[in-house]
Structure 1
Amino acid sequence: MLRTKLLKCVSYNTTKIFMSTNAETAAFENKLEHYKNLHALDTTDAKPQGWDEAKPFDSIPGPKPLPIIGNMWRFAVPIFGDFYGKDFVDIHRDLNRQYGNISILRGLLGKSIVVLFDPKDFETLFRNEGVWPIRDNIPSLEKYQESRKGVKTFGLVTRQGESWFRFRSVVNPILMQPKNIARYTDKMNLVADELVDNIKHLAKQNKDGEMPDDFRNELYKWSLESVGVVTLDTHLGCLKRDLKADSEQQKIINNAIQFFDLMYKLDFRPSLYKYMNTPDWKQYVSVIDFLVETNIKHINRALDKLAKQENDPENEIKSVLQQLLKKDKDTAVAMAMDMMLAGIDTTGRILGAGLYYLGKYPEKQEQLRKEAQALLKNKDTPITKEVLAKAPYLKAVVKEVTRLAPIGIGNMRRTQKKLVLAGYQIPENTDVMSSNLVISLMDAHFPKARDFLPERWLSQCPADISHKNANPFILAPFGYGPRSCIGKRLANLELDVAFLKIARNFEISWPHKDMKFATTTLYGIADPLKIRVKPVDD
């Protein structure tokens, strides 16, 4: 019944079909053929340099697996399982301390994962990822997609190989083009103004100006509103003060958060959902169904609006959604779904972590405020792309936040050819993970690594703390290479505008013990974000 309902939703309210020109199609097919040839070279069976001298794959150190159940018992068995209840970051630290720069977890639901702790090996891995990089699919999403045949639900997140390349080739020129994203600066400015107004309102509810326990929900409202104006061409009204708990906007947020929580339970913890319809699986399906239906509804409205504007000579295709729809309706739906899932909890977490660090390090916050005051005459002065181009300390703040609190603790790839990593033979079709966060927090790579020091990213920076001393492959908060996050330019714009607006309007303090950070599907702050804010003078 649910599948029928979704298929009905895909019956768009307009018969307008956007097609590429024959010339564009021919050019793409030539490009595809070229990349097929490159891919064939990438997947050659040739031995890399040093292969014969490297140690065999079977000798990579790691926790000893048990027959049949492998190493899963370490995560699943209380008391005796040494990984049971541990955060993934702590597990990675344990592996690094015990086994060195490379280790392997064998017998994880029928597969093994190699974990790397040397940035030189990161570089080798990613420089050999090929033109069609592969990372392990998410089993729960694959199962959902299989249960909804005929419904276009996801874009890049579930694709591999040629299918991934075709989709990415369509969306890359739209979402990775700086000028396309820069057009949204004024809209991000308005969304940030709404967030600032809500923070002012919440501060008045407490004599200390302390934010409530559920303040993170305000950040999720901000991130959803930001995603909505780009992918749905719609101001969803997420930051309205009278927003009800049962409103569509709040339901989108709740379902997007639930999506990651449920994925963690299904794919990162022992679960029987592949063999039976467990309660978590049923809830997961319900969550995705709601998000798909909601996306399609808003895209239908956008299509109706475009159809009415079609014969208007003044109408110029500018928005991201319009450009995606011009390519293909299914592409627009799938990309909107990807960005809604990937753009709410993620940027909300990064903004939350950044506010915590700015509150904990008032001298760094003051440097950001001075830059904001120099660029924004008044607290309500609009932020423009020209303003952002003159804000180096702001960019340094965002980089330092993503170093200390990225949404992912590492990056995964599946090797497409033989590699030598840390002196060991790594066969093709091996899942390998770079443990970026663990080594980002090591003084050997970033002096005073656990301190919040945005100046390390400035061109004029003391040599002893400069990021230039660190391997550039360590910091990869949005991934690396062709498979890096498609929404990274949008995310950076959202964060730049929000941090600058908040610093211009408020003095933030953190009068509590240090924030706890934790990993489920994503990494981030785990305690209530009870920052205290005080309006600054003009």
Structure 2
Amino acid sequence: MSPAPSPRLFALCRRGGSVGLWTRTLVQARTEAAKLKTIDDLPGPTLSRTLFWLFVKGYADKSHLLQCVQKSLYGPIWRSKFGPLDLVNVASPDLIAQVIHQEGRYPVRAELPHWKEYRDLRGQAYGLHVDKGQEWYRIRSALNPKMLKLQEVSAYAPIIHQVVEDLLQRIEFLRSCSPDRASVLDVTAELYKFGFEGISSILFETRLGCLQENIPQDTARFIAAVNDMLTLSEIVVIFPRWTYRILPFWKRFVQAWDDLYDTAQRLIDIRLADIQTQTARGELTEGLYLTHLLSCKKITQSEIYISVTELLLGGVDTTSNTLSWALYHLARDPRAQDRLYNEVNAVCANRRKPGMDDLKGMPYLKAVIKEILRLYPVVPGNGRFIAENEVILDNYWFPKKTQFHLCHYAVSRDQTQFPCPDAFMPERWLRTERVTPGFFQHHPYSFIPFGVGVRGCVGKRVAEMEMYFALCRLMQHYEVRPGDNRAPIQAKTRTLLIPAKPINLLFLHRA
């Protein structure tokens, strides 16, 4: 019996860029497929064991922790089935790399039949999360340039600074309303409004008033629709279609999407009317992201409606949750907070607003954000539905249309990759300190919070800019300390990884 192609051989083919060798390796692997193990040979929990974990042991809202439990029992690759879901879980950086490098030209994160069914019900375009193949790539190519090129993203800095100023005013208002004139309750909720206002200001080129004392009714409805859709999305997908008429979840899911889509469409139509008026007057059309999309003619108006809506969905929680966890850990680690403040103050003295160039001199700021994204990846697990290719992982062969679950949370907490994995240690990301005994060079696929390749997060640059600017300004103005909740706060899974309890903090004015 010939040995199966080793992971090392795959790695050498990829690293050397030898397409011919890589192809020959796959051909050899396919001819030996009958000798390799299959999905049926994978270890994994029974349905009863899964139900026990979810509803008796309490992992229903802690699926990120369940990754670690199952990895310890079954190893770095296992199978899990629940309802219509049949997943191959991979929880080592090398296995994740093998999946990514075999996903084909037009990768699919996951099948979203309930999203597709809603689009069909309303006659809408499919968008980034439902469209596949060349159609998906065409839309993605239109969205990328103004989002991923750093020079283009720099144009959004002034509007983001305006939103950060509103956040500071909001913090001051909340402090003034508290009995001790320092407390801010449920910081995550306030930062969620900041994230929503920030990404909306770019996507819709208008301010929604999320940080006002009295939020406009349409804006409140918009925010609620995002929350409802994300919550219901992970419920609807596990129920078969025949339950739609019996259980309330599908109807509520449709209503949430209707509220979300209708508001986005109204905001886009307002901007489109402005552009048409300017054009009719012979005036030069100026604007930012939405103006570019409406003027570029690369995607249809219907595709713009759904694409901008989906960009909004991905742009809020990344900013709000990451900043919430950053402030939580900095409040509990005065040493780290002092180091960050000193760095910010050295680069931007006298509370000067940071610019994009200033960020180059703030490695510790970037290390803090990286460490938070390692501890709390916004999406604890990502998917890859590989429809075009057969896939080989180590000694296993998988047919086309296998759904892989990339367990980012388990990998980012792996002590072989990150010593003291549960500790908040921004220093591990600093080149000058990474060689300290106990720190090791981690595998590049052990930390991919924004994804990788053509399926990487479109809004990565914008999210980073929002987080850097907001954290800089907050450190300039306040020393942050723990509030009344001194007990550690855990995370929970609601599609995304969020704090299980409100984070209450004290914001004390710096001299």
- Indicate conservation of the 8 Å contact 2:278/2:285, yes or no: no
- Could you tell me which of 217, 222, 227 is aligned with 1:257? 227
Code of the aligned partner of 2:331: G
Secondary structure of the equivalent of 2:457?
A: coil
Q: Is the 8 A contact 2:104 2:389 kept in 1?
A: no
Bigger drift between 459-468 and 139-148 goes to: 459-468
Matched, 1:128 2:98: no
Q: Please list the CA deviations of residues 380-431 of structure 1 after superposition, one character each: whole Å capped at 9, or x if unmatched.
A: x222212223222111111111111111112211233233324222222211
Picking from 259, 274, 296, the partner of 2:265 is 296
Of the candidates 215, 235, 246, which is equivalent to residue 243 of structure 1? 215
- In 1, the alpha carbon distance for the partners of 2:319 and 2:274 equals 29
The answer as to 2:291 corresponding to 1:322 is yes
Q: Would the aligned equivalents of 2:187 and 2:324 in 1 still touch at CA under 8 Å? A: no
Cα distance between partner residues in 2 of 1:519 and 1:158: 23
Question: Which is further off, 439-448 or 208-217?
Answer: 208-217
Q: Cα gap change, 1:396/1:209 in structure 2, threshold over 3 Å: closer, same or farther?
A: farther
Larger displacement relative to structure 2 (458-467 or 121-130): 458-467
CA shift at 1:308, angstroms? 2.9
Corresponding residue to 2:161 among 166, 189, 203: 189
Match of 2:356 among 367, 385, 395: 385
Amino acid at match of 1:187: I
For 1:502 and 1:374, the matched residues in 2 are separated by: 15
Amino acid at match of 1:256: V
Q: Secondary structure at the match of 1:115?
A: strand
What TM-score results when the alignment is normalised by the length of structure 2?
Answer: 0.87
Selected match of 2:75 from 82, 100, 114 = 100
Q: Given the alignment of the two structures, is residue 530 of structure 1 paired with residue 507 of structure 2, yes or no?
A: no
User: Higher helix fraction: Structure 1 or Structure 2?
Assistant: 2
1:455 aligns with 2:427: yes
Counterpart of 1:91? 66
Residues 349 and 480 from structure 1, CA distance in 2 versus in 1: closer, same or farther, beyond 3 angstroms? same
Residues 467 and 519 (structure 1), Cα distance of their counterparts in 2 relative to 1, 3 Å cut: farther
Query: Structure 1 residue 467: deviation in Å?
Result: 7.2
Which residue of structure 1 lines up, in the alignment, with residue 411 of structure 2?
439
Q: Contact 1:92/1:435 (CA < 8 Å) preserved in 2?
A: yes
Distance of aligned partners of 1:530 and 1:418 in 2 relative to their CA distance in 1, 3 Å threshold: same
Q: Report the equivalent of 1:166.
A: 138
Are the equivalent residues in 2 in contact too, given 1:325–1:331 (CA < 8 A)?
Answer: no
Please give the alpha-carbon distance, in whole angstroms, between the structure 2 residues aligned to 1:371 and 1:316: 40
In 2, Cα distance between equivalents of 1:302 and 1:58: 53
Which blocks of at least 5 consecutive residues in structure 1 are unaligned?
1-37
Counterpart-to-counterpart distance in 1, 2:39 and 2:383: 18
Q: Distance in 2 between matches of 1:462 and 1:147?
A: 53
Counterpart-to-counterpart distance in 2, 1:209 and 1:372: 25
Q: Secondary structure at the match of 2:236?
A: helix
Aligned to 1:58: 40
Q: Does 1:493 align with 2:465?
A: yes
- Paired with 1:516 and 1:422, the residues of 2 have a C-alpha distance of 34
What residue number does 2:14 align with?
none
For residues 270 and 317 of structure 1, the distance between their equivalents in structure 2, rounded to whole angstroms, comes to 47
Quick one: distance in 2 between partners of 1:172 and 1:202?
37
Residue 10 (structure 2) aligns with: none
1:99-498 → structure 2 map (5 Å cutoff): 99-106=74-81, 108-149=82-123, 151-152=124-125, 155-209=127-181, 211-243=183-215, 247-267=217-237, 269-270=238-239, 275-276=244-245, 278-310=247-279, 315=284, 317-328=286-297, 329-379=301-351, 381-415=352-386, 416-464=388-436, 469-498=441-470
The answer as to 2:495 corresponding to 1:514 is: no
TM-score (norm 1): 0.83
**Separation (CA, whole Å) in 2 of partners of 1:369 and 1:220:** 23
The residue type paired with residue 38 of structure 2 is P
Q: Which moved more, 1:465-474 or 1:446-455?
A: 465-474
Checking the alignment, whether the CA contact within 8 Å between 1:208 and 1:532 is kept in structure 2 is no
Which secondary structure state, in structure 2, belongs to the residue aligned with residue 104 of structure 1? Answer: strand
**Residues 103-147 of structure 1: CA distance to partner in whole angstroms, max 9, x if unpaired?**
1013x3344211112211111111111110122222321221121
Change (3 A) 1:352 1:252: same
Q: 1: CA distance between counterparts of 2:339 and 2:333?
A: 10
Task: After TM superposition, give the deviation of residue 234 of structure 1 in Å.
Answer: 0.6
Change (3 A) 1:277 1:305: farther
3-state SS of 1:112 partner? strand
Contact 2:167 2:211 in 1 (8 A): yes
Cα 1:249/1:65, change in 2 over 3 Å:
closer
Q: In the TM superposition, what whole-angstrom CA distance separates every residue of 1:227-268 from its partner, at most 9, and x where no partner exists?
A: 121110112222122336xx222221121111111112222x
Deviations 1:473-518 (A, max 9, x none): 0111111211111111111111111111111111111251111101
CA distance in 2, matches of 1:270, 1:464: 50
Worse-superposed segment, 138-147 or 493-502: 138-147
3-state secondary structure, aligned to 2:312:
helix
Q: Specify whether residues 520 and 365 from structure 1 end up closer, same or farther in structure 2 by C-alpha distance, changes over 3 A only.
A: same
CA distance in 2, matches of 1:273, 1:382: 55
Displacement of 1:74 in angstroms is 4.8
- Distance in 1, matches of 2:389 and 2:239, equals 30
Query: How many Å separate the matches in 1 of 2:438 and 2:454?
Result: 27
- Select between 512-521 and 323-332 the one with higher mean Cα deviation: 323-332
Name the aligned partner's letter for residue 205 of structure 1: C
- Preserved contact between residue 61 and residue 494 of structure 2 (Cα < 8 Å): no
- Structure 2 residue identity aligned to 1:407: V
Q: Distance in 2 between matches of 1:455 and 1:239?
A: 33
Deviations 1:423-482 (A, max 9, x none): 222222211112111121122210121111112112211414787611010111111211
CA contact (8 A) 1:412 1:431 kept: yes
RMSD: 2.6
Distance 1:158 1:442 in 2: 32
Q: Tell me, what secondary structure is at the counterpart of 2:37?
A: coil
The code of the aligned residue for 1:60 comes to: L
- Seen in structure 2, the aligned counterparts of structure 1 residues 431 and 488 have a Cα distance that, compared at 3 Å, is same
Deviation per residue, 1:302-335 (Å, 9 max, x gap): 1122223326777364511111111243343222
The CA distance in 1 between the partners of 2:303 and 2:510, in whole Å, is 45
Q: Indicate conservation of the 8 Å contact 1:48/1:418, yes or no.
A: no
Compared with structure 1, are the counterparts of its residues 207 and 489 closer, same or farther at alpha carbon in structure 2 (3 Å cutoff)?
same
What residue ranges of structure 2 are gaps of 5+ in the alignment? 1-18
